[in-house]
Structure 1
Amino acid sequence: MTKKAWGGRFESNPESWVDAFNASIHFDKNLIDQDIQGSIAHATMLAEQNIIQTDEAELIIQGLKDIQKDYYDHNLELSESLEDIHLNVEHALIQKIGQVGGKLHTGRSRNDQVATDMHLYTKQHVQEIITLVESLQKAILNIADEHIHTIMPGYTHLQRAQPISFAHHIMTYFWMLERDKSRFNDSIKRIDISPLGAAALSGTTHPIDRHRTQELLGFGSLYENSLDAVSDRDYIVETLQNISLTMVHLSRFAEEIIFWSTDEAKFITLSDSFSTGSSIMPQKKNPDMAELIRGKVGRTTGHLMSMLVTLKGLPLAYNKDMQEDKEGLFDAIHTIKGSLRIFEGMITTMQVNKERLNETVHKDFSNATELADYLVEQNIPFREAHEIVGKIVLWCIQNGKYLLDVPLEQYQSYNEKIESNVYDYLKPENCLSRRKSYGSTGQEAVQHQINVAKELI
């Protein structure tokens, strides 16, 4: 049994199954780079403050670098009985350089040590998420650029509503992701705070320099209150919330991809690289990557809820409950990064079926609002125009026709102000070109929207 770092006041060690329940090494080993980075900064500061000797700090720092190399060379044995990555590294350091390694923990606690690790880890991965979000935005922009003039049916209530530009539709997700990116960027200032030197909860009697470790670790600011430093997990909740909302946006996009790829729609064809088959039905090509992304929202949202509930009743300062902050965050970060990469590949390689989309907007009633607007231009009140068009649509349904197929005399039987120019008015491409209001689906407006987006990127 390994001697416990806290074992001085205990007469016996826990049983092995209790050690296993208590241990976090199976997942917090993910923090080894941040743990060693923080320890090197701490050792550097201790020497500069004459709390330890310079040669002792040099020995400690080299030992830490060797341990990091050992880890990646699979030569570092991690023990459950040592509980976490901090004590495992410290134990390995003492084994490697002798008792001088025990001086590293002067002026700090595992409480501020793990908080430092988590701040460093979260900051790094949020920055990586921002990069991946922007990469997906670029892919969306490239597709939009190609399809400004591709017309598709727009939907409300999953019912055909009005013809819109495919570029306009897909750019909606660019703007969702832009807000997501903004939230992640804004959150960094609340992540980028150094807790190191807060120790267990009340600071330390040693003459440490917290501003120096802040500088060495590249943090933007310091916690002003040592209790807050070791107990704050707001930045983890915020990161999980931002991940959850971004995943919801990806899920909505995934649902569109799933629908568009059905035989009923045939709006797009997914690449074989991002599809799977059936073990029993040879004809199947399933949009499994999109479905998985849609499904993974459950786990990322669950991690957010779990973190909120964990924190709900905790008194100050550190409590062992906070060990539960890691697995959910690690998994949520892994999930969103994978989802963003998959999504970019999936939409970059999909084929947009322009002819099919064009066919659909010529065989539906998505231009019915145009007919109402046409009547309004003939000085007919909109409510009256709405009723007239409703009756014409009913006639079309009863007779197997669409609005472009209705004979002029039939139109004029509903209202004599309808003239032959109505057919040009109802063409889907003209429905789009007349929409010139800012942010609308008209080709000129969409081109302007894309230009604005390119400037942002």
Structure 2
Amino acid sequence: MTESSSKLWGGRFSEKTDLLLEKINSSLQYDKRMCQEDLQGSEAYARALQRANLLTKEEMEAIHKGLAQISKEWEKNTFKVKPMDEDIHTANERRLKELIGLPATKLHTGRSRNDQSNTDLRLWLRSRIGNLDKYLRQLVKEMVRRSTEEKDILMPGYTHLQRAQPVRWSHWLLSYAWSFKIDVDRLAQLYDRINVMTLGSGAIAGNPFPIDRQLLAKDLNFTDLSPNSMYAVGDRDFVAEFLFWASLTAVHLSRLAEDLILFSSQEFGFVKLADSFTTGSSLMPQKRNPDGLEILRGKAGRIFGHCTGFMMVLKGLPSTYNKDLQEDKEATFDTYDTMEDVLQLTEGLLSSLKVDKVRCTSALSPDMLATDIAYYLVRKGIPFREAHHLAGKVVAEAEKKNMSIMDLPLEELKTISATFEDDSKDIWHYENSVEQYQSTGGTSLSSIEQQTIELNKWLLIRTIN
């Protein structure tokens, strides 16, 4: 058999493929990860061919037996790749012919690698998204656990990286828990768009044989099937969506990591990372570097790089299938692997760190209660804009006298506004400050408890099988 005739497409070619093109064109080194999904699709397609009277029952059974043998070879790592194997589809079909002979040549009837590869990738991604769902839920569960157990710890809240208002440590934790909860919800929505069968679309025009695509979709556990063959073979929106989902989730992880890097520094000292998630310096023996957290930040860039790169692949393509789309798999596989690692790493980092209640509380300062002065005046009947202006005058007077705003005597406060009374001393309690935020989403104890109840209820609901 000549080199050209051994290829699925080699019949009309008389010259050998350029060696460099052969190298670049080959995708088996990475798409062999879809070996089982490719066999799964072929097994179902053989049944569809038999139902359409394009295979005899004996031929279908021979194909199924051969596919089962190939599956075992991949599992045992005994499958022998040959030079003419361009991709996983070619390799499996070539091996099937070696095992069962002529019936193998009928398996591709009406099928193209265009719809085959699209289907394989959907099957592969669909079967693994549940793992990412699980790891994200574990992370949220850990955040809820800590929020419940450490709800009494107060700390500064920050805007513009400047001390803003007192908040609960739990409130900070839950701010990320809600981000990850939405990431899980978004993943479930993406799952539905992945779970659409494109098999049966052929190369572009559809399948000319009486293949029951509805039954084929049911056989492969797809909940829907593509309505247009041209759209189906060129569609990689589900890949782009997955890469964007991963990028956004990785950004949330990166922001969490940045906060914890700051909080674990000696300047903050709010948390201490476990030794198992830090490394040392090759020169400075005293160092405990937050390399685990820094890796989380760095991986976000890697993942987003795949997203932007693949979007540029899609940007200039004409309709239907083009070989550029082969770039979908490396981006998808590496992104999935990276997300699987970083989600588990984050949960380990978070569950093992220690929060220092004393350092958190000692970082609170009276100037963070300046807004509470305005709120005090509002409760006395002063319009907020005027109250804000008067609170600013209190801050300015304290700075002028080089003293804390809480140390200004009542007489000084009354010179700014006669509304200040003896009860103004209640402003200077941090616990009172956080407890005033009773509305939904606030940092009061009741709000924290309500948030954890809602998240615990949500954790019981499975949206991805």
Unaligned stretches of 5+ residues in structure 2: 460-465
Distance 2:53 2:381 in 1: 88
Distance 2:274 2:399 in 1: 37
Residues 404 and 427, structure 1, Cα contact 8 Å, conserved in 2: no
Residues 23 and 84, structure 1, Cα contact 8 Å, conserved in 2: yes
Listed as ranges, the matches of 1:12-91 within 5 Å are 12-91=15-94
State yes or no: 1:438 paired with 2:431.
no
Hey, what does 2:109 align to over in structure 1? 106
**Cα-to-partner distance string for 1:139-180 (whole Å, 9 max, x where unaligned):** 111111112221111111111111011111111112111221
Residues 133 and 187, structure 2, Cα contact 8 Å, conserved in 1: yes
Hey, what does 1:168 align to over in structure 2? 171
State yes or no: 1:116 paired with 2:119.
yes
Hey, what does 2:356 align to over in structure 1? 353
Residues 366 and 406, structure 2, Cα contact 8 Å, conserved in 1: no
> Following TM superposition, by how much is the alpha carbon of 1:404 offset from its aligned partner in structure 2, in angstroms?
3.5
Name the CA shift for 1:437/1:204 in 2 (closer, same or farther; >3 Å). closer
State yes or no: 1:422 paired with 2:424.
yes
> Following TM superposition, by how much is the alpha carbon of 1:328 offset from its aligned partner in structure 2, in angstroms?
0.8
**Cα-to-partner distance string for 1:198-223 (whole Å, 9 max, x where unaligned):** 11111233222222221111000111
Hey, what does 1:300 align to over in structure 2? 303
The 4+ residue runs of structure 1 with deviation greater than 6 A are none
Distance 1:407 1:371 in 2: 14
Hey, what does 1:342 align to over in structure 2? 345
2:387 to 368, 377, 385: 385
Q: Which moved more, 1:262-271 or 1:90-99?
A: 90-99
> Following TM superposition, by how much is the alpha carbon of 1:388 offset from its aligned partner in structure 2, in angstroms?
3.6
Distance 1:80 1:446 in 2: 61
2:180 to 177, 195, 203: 177
Hey, what does 1:452 align to over in structure 2? 454
> Following TM superposition, by how much is the alpha carbon of 1:262 offset from its aligned partner in structure 2, in angstroms?
0.8
Name the CA shift for 1:382/1:178 in 2 (closer, same or farther; >3 Å). same
Query: Secondary structure, in 3 states, of the residue corresponding to 1:105?
Result: coil
Distance 1:384 1:437 in 2: 24
Residues 152 and 360, structure 1, Cα contact 8 Å, conserved in 2: yes
**Cα-to-partner distance string for 1:239-286 (whole Å, 9 max, x where unaligned):** 111111111111111111111111111111111111111111111111
Q: How many residues align?
A: 456
> Following TM superposition, by how much is the alpha carbon of 1:85 offset from its aligned partner in structure 2, in angstroms?
0.6
Distance 1:368 1:452 in 2: 32
Query: Secondary structure, in 3 states, of the residue corresponding to 1:276?
Result: coil
Hey, what does 1:149 align to over in structure 2? 152
Q: Which moved more, 1:216-225 or 1:63-72?
A: 63-72
Hey, what does 2:463 align to over in structure 1? none
Listed as ranges, the matches of 1:167-246 within 5 Å are 167-246=170-249
Residues 271 and 354, structure 2, Cα contact 8 Å, conserved in 1: yes
Hey, what does 1:374 align to over in structure 2? 376
CA RMSD of aligned residues (A): 1.9
Residues 110 and 200, structure 1, Cα contact 8 Å, conserved in 2: yes
Distance 2:341 2:304 in 1: 16
Residues 369 and 427, structure 2, Cα contact 8 Å, conserved in 1: no
Residues 244 and 301, structure 1, Cα contact 8 Å, conserved in 2: yes
> Following TM superposition, by how much is the alpha carbon of 1:229 offset from its aligned partner in structure 2, in angstroms?
1.6
For residue 163 of structure 1, what is the amino acid of its counterpart? P
2:321 to 292, 305, 318: 318
Name the CA shift for 1:381/1:198 in 2 (closer, same or farther; >3 Å). closer
Residues 160 and 364, structure 1, Cα contact 8 Å, conserved in 2: no
Length-normalised TM-score, structure 2: 0.93
Name the CA shift for 1:377/1:40 in 2 (closer, same or farther; >3 Å). same
> Following TM superposition, by how much is the alpha carbon of 1:12 offset from its aligned partner in structure 2, in angstroms?
2.1
Unaligned stretches of 5+ residues in structure 1: none
Query: Secondary structure, in 3 states, of the residue corresponding to 1:164?
Result: strand
> Following TM superposition, by how much is the alpha carbon of 1:99 offset from its aligned partner in structure 2, in angstroms?
2.8
For residue 6 of structure 1, what is the amino acid of its counterpart? W
Hey, what does 1:94 align to over in structure 2? 97
> Following TM superposition, by how much is the alpha carbon of 1:125 offset from its aligned partner in structure 2, in angstroms?
2.4
Length-normalised TM-score, structure 1: 0.95
Residues 23 and 81, structure 1, Cα contact 8 Å, conserved in 2: no
Residues 214 and 221, structure 1, Cα contact 8 Å, conserved in 2: yes
For residue 204 of structure 2, what is the amino acid of its counterpart? L
For residue 44 of structure 1, what is the amino acid of its counterpart? R
1:365 to 348, 360, 367: 367
State yes or no: 1:274 paired with 2:277.
yes
Query: Secondary structure, in 3 states, of the residue corresponding to 2:91?
Result: helix
Residues 152 and 358, structure 1, Cα contact 8 Å, conserved in 2: yes
Distance 1:249 1:384 in 2: 38
Hey, what does 1:402 align to over in structure 2? 404
